[in-house]
Amino acid sequence: MQNGLYIVATPIGNLGDLSPRAKETLANAEVIACEDTRITKKLFALLNISTTGKKFIVYQNYNEEDEAQNIINLAINDKKSIALVSDAGSPLISDPGYKLIRRAREQNVPVTVLPGCCALICALQLSGLPTNRFLFAGFIPNKDKARADTLNEVRDTKATIVFYETAQRIVKTLTAAAKIFGNREMAVAREISKVYEECVNGTAAKLIEYFSSKEPKGEMVLMIAPADEKDFSTLDIENLMRQKMAEMPLKSAVKEMVAVYGLNKNEMYELALKLKNE
Ligand code: SAM
């Protein structure tokens, strides 16, 4: 195999998702740069790939700067082929790697990518939320203020917003999101490609309700509809109701608002009366 760096995505839950080309690359690479040698060696064992004669290098956020040049030297001086993998999914996406790739390209080391699983893309595909524009915003911070700041920062983004999240923190995040996004549609995709894969859509309040009746488990991705798409802020609801009332009788307008947007019937009736008397 030609010397250089091979970015190899690995499965996020189903071994069968690794492509034959990715398997061949992992089998032929002389050096494996990975986050955790135990996890990657386990993957090799499951794939029946021998680790004999291969050098495994731990490449993590904490040693990225130091290790990057060592890995590049192996490609330049020793003409080694190096596969970069993360514990699961696509390397570099909320995982270490970009500094290594940047340096490799600066030093004319051949770099190639083998496409494969990426949790955020799979989650978006499942969500039914707009995919023409999206913002991937990584992991949501764990501290209350930082979490709220991050959510506020993306609130007006006119694109679907995608976050990586954990089961332990999802309810806290949804609680903060409820205050900032109100009735905006969201989706949580979890356990993608595993037995209990699911994607649940609803407002933050609905999703909190869902996860209080069903304990959140597994790996998950939180997605929030674009600001201009499904933001049912009070103002928008009023505008939508006005439009409907201009087109049809009051009762039908209420009925439509309830059916189309899942809003509360009594509240919509009160709103319609208020707007009628304006
Ligand atoms: N680089 C990987 C990728 O893009 O596929 C993601 C690595 S990141 C450290 C791990 C996060 O990805 C998890 O906390 C979760 O948010 C998401 N994730 C990974 N596997 C998943 C799965 N099977 N289902 C849903 N989310 C997943």
Three-point CA angle 264, 266, 269, nearest 5°: 105
What is the pLDDT, as a whole number, of residue 1? 94
What is the pLDDT, as a whole number, of residue 229? 59
Alpha-carbon distances of 163 from 21, 74, 158, rounded to whole Å: 29, 35, 15
Determine the Cα–Cα distance for residues 4 and 37; give it in Å rounded to an integer: 20
Determine the Cα–Cα distance for residues 92 and 86; give it in Å rounded to an integer: 8
Pure H helices in 77-230: 98-106, 119-127, 144-154, 170-181, 204-213
Determine the angle formed by the axes of helices 250-261 and 234-247, rounding to 10 degrees.
Answer: 130
Check if the beta carbon of residue 278 is closer than 8 Å to that of residue 271: no
pTM recorded for the entire structure: 0.84
User: Is the shortest distance between the CB of 97 and ligand 1 below 6 Å?
Assistant: no
What is the pLDDT, as a whole number, of residue 33? 98
What is the pLDDT, as a whole number, of residue 278? 85
What is the per-residue pLDDT across 44-95, written as a single tens digit (0 to 9) for each?
999 999 999 999 999 998 898 889 999 999 999 999 999 999 999 999 999 9
What is the pLDDT, as a whole number, of residue 42? 98
Distance 12 CA to ligand 1 centre (A): 7
Distance 11 CA to ligand 1 centre (A): 10
Determine the angle formed by the axes of helices 234-247 and 265-276, rounding to 10 degrees.
Answer: 70
DSSP 65: H
104 Cβ neighbours under 8 A, 6+ residues apart:
4, 5, 72, 75, 111
A 10 A CB-CB count for 267 gives 13
User: Is the shortest distance between the CB of 192 and ligand 1 below 6 Å?
Assistant: yes
DSSP 15: G
What is the pLDDT, as a whole number, of residue 157? 96
> In the chain, which stretches have pLDDT less than 70?
229-235, 260-262
User: Is the shortest distance between the CB of 81 and ligand 1 below 6 Å?
Assistant: no
What is the per-residue pLDDT across 146-155, written as a single tens digit (0 to 9) for each?
999 999 999 9
Give the 3-state DSSP-derived string for 40-85, with helices as H, strands as E and coil as C: HHHHHHHCCCCCCCCEEEECCHHHHHHHHHHHHHHHHCCCCEEEEC
Distance 90 CA to ligand 1 centre (A): 9
Question: Ligand 1: which atom is nearest the Cα of residue 119?
Answer: 5
Q: Number of C-alpha atoms within 13 angstroms, CB side, residue 85?
A: 31
What is the pLDDT, as a whole number, of residue 238? 84
Check if the beta carbon of residue 117 is closer than 8 Å to that of residue 221: no
Cα diameter, the chain = 81
User: Is the shortest distance between the CB of 190 and ligand 1 below 6 Å?
Assistant: yes
Mutate to test the pocket of ligand 1, among 7, 12, 197 (most ligand atoms within 8 A of CB): 12
Mutate to test the pocket of ligand 1, among 114, 126, 166, 219 (most ligand atoms within 8 A of CB): 219
- Strand partners for 201: 187
A 10 A CB-CB count for 230 gives 17
Determine the Cα–Cα distance for residues 82 and 177; give it in Å rounded to an integer: 41
User: Is the shortest distance between the CB of 86 and ligand 1 below 6 Å?
Assistant: yes
Determine the Cα–Cα distance for residues 167 and 169; give it in Å rounded to an integer: 6
Alpha-carbon distances of 71 from 58, 107, 186, rounded to whole Å: 10, 12, 41
Distance 230 CA to ligand 1 centre (A): 26
The identity of residue 55, as a single letter, is K
